[in-house]
Amino acid sequence: MTQAFNGGDNSRFSESSAPSKLWQNIAIGSLGFWLSGSLMLDFVVMPTMWATGMMESSGFASASYSIFWIFNRVELVCAAAALSTIWALSQVNLASVDKNRKMFAGAVMLMAIALTYAFILTPYMSGLGFDADIFTTTQSLPAEMDRMHSIYWVLEASKLAIVGMLLFLVDRSTSEHV
């Protein structure tokens, strides 16, 4: 049956490449979904909140915490999927040990970034945005919020670069041997 699809060349399609392709597809799918969600949040949702003045409103801290709480959980699932599939991919493909180490290190870094967002950065930034003094007439963001935004954007740029690197390495890891 496979000879009809590949012109009679059995070396091009083998049973051993099927698990590798499956894990490659899952890794690319989860990384691509994560990348698209991050780009949507960074370049559509956040600028819209800024442009509409939502960041100046009294309910901004709770609203943004809700948005980021949900997205952080999605990121944790994507990071776990990426880490799991890259580990599985390293077990079934014939990529070099160096390439497998790079992919695994990148996936671990992505998990660390997702954990940092979910359990350190988002709760801390939401706490900074919450105004406990009900008698203030003007609300301004604390100066420390600028530092936290800088940390967020450095982590976000790192995450996007690592996801891009992993997409490239995962694509190359099985295409070299199939």
Residues 6+ positions from 114 with CB-CB distance below 8 Å: 72, 75, 76, 78, 79
Model confidence at 132: pLDDT above 50: yes
Q: Is residue 7 part of a domain?
A: no
Please report how many Cα atoms fall inside a 13 Å half-sphere around the Cα of residue 59, on the Cβ side: 3
More confident: 174 or 119:
119
Model confidence at 13: pLDDT above 90: no
Q: CA 22 to CA 59: how far, in whole Å?
A: 45
Q: Is residue 5 part of a domain?
A: no
Domain that holds residue 31: 16-175
3-state secondary structure of 16: coil
User: How many structural domains are present in the chain?
Assistant: 1
pLDDT digits (tens, 9 = 90+) for 22-78: 889 999 999 999 999 999 999 999 898 888 877 777 777 788 888 999 999 999 999
The 3-class secondary structure across 78-126, one letter per residue, is HHHHHHHHHHHHHHHCCCCHHHHHHHHHHHHHHHHHHHHHHHHHHHHHH
Q: Is residue 109 part of a domain?
A: yes
| Residue 166 token pair | 């992993």
pLDDT digits (tens, 9 = 90+) for 83-117: 999 999 888 876 688 888 999 999 999 999 999 99
Q: Is residue 167 part of a domain?
A: yes
Q: Is residue 53 part of a domain?
A: yes
Q: CA 144 to CA 153: how far, in whole Å?
A: 14
Cα–Cα distance list, 149 to 72, 76, 155 (Å): 16, 20, 10
Q: Is residue 8 part of a domain?
A: no
Q: CA 61 to CA 8: how far, in whole Å?
A: 63
pLDDT digits (tens, 9 = 90+) for 136-156: 655 556 678 889 889 999 999
The DSSP output letter for 138 is: -
Q: Is residue 4 part of a domain?
A: no
Q: Which of 115, 111, 128 is nearest to 30 (CA)?
A: 111
Please state the pTM of the whole predicted model.
0.80
Q: Is residue 97 part of a domain?
A: yes
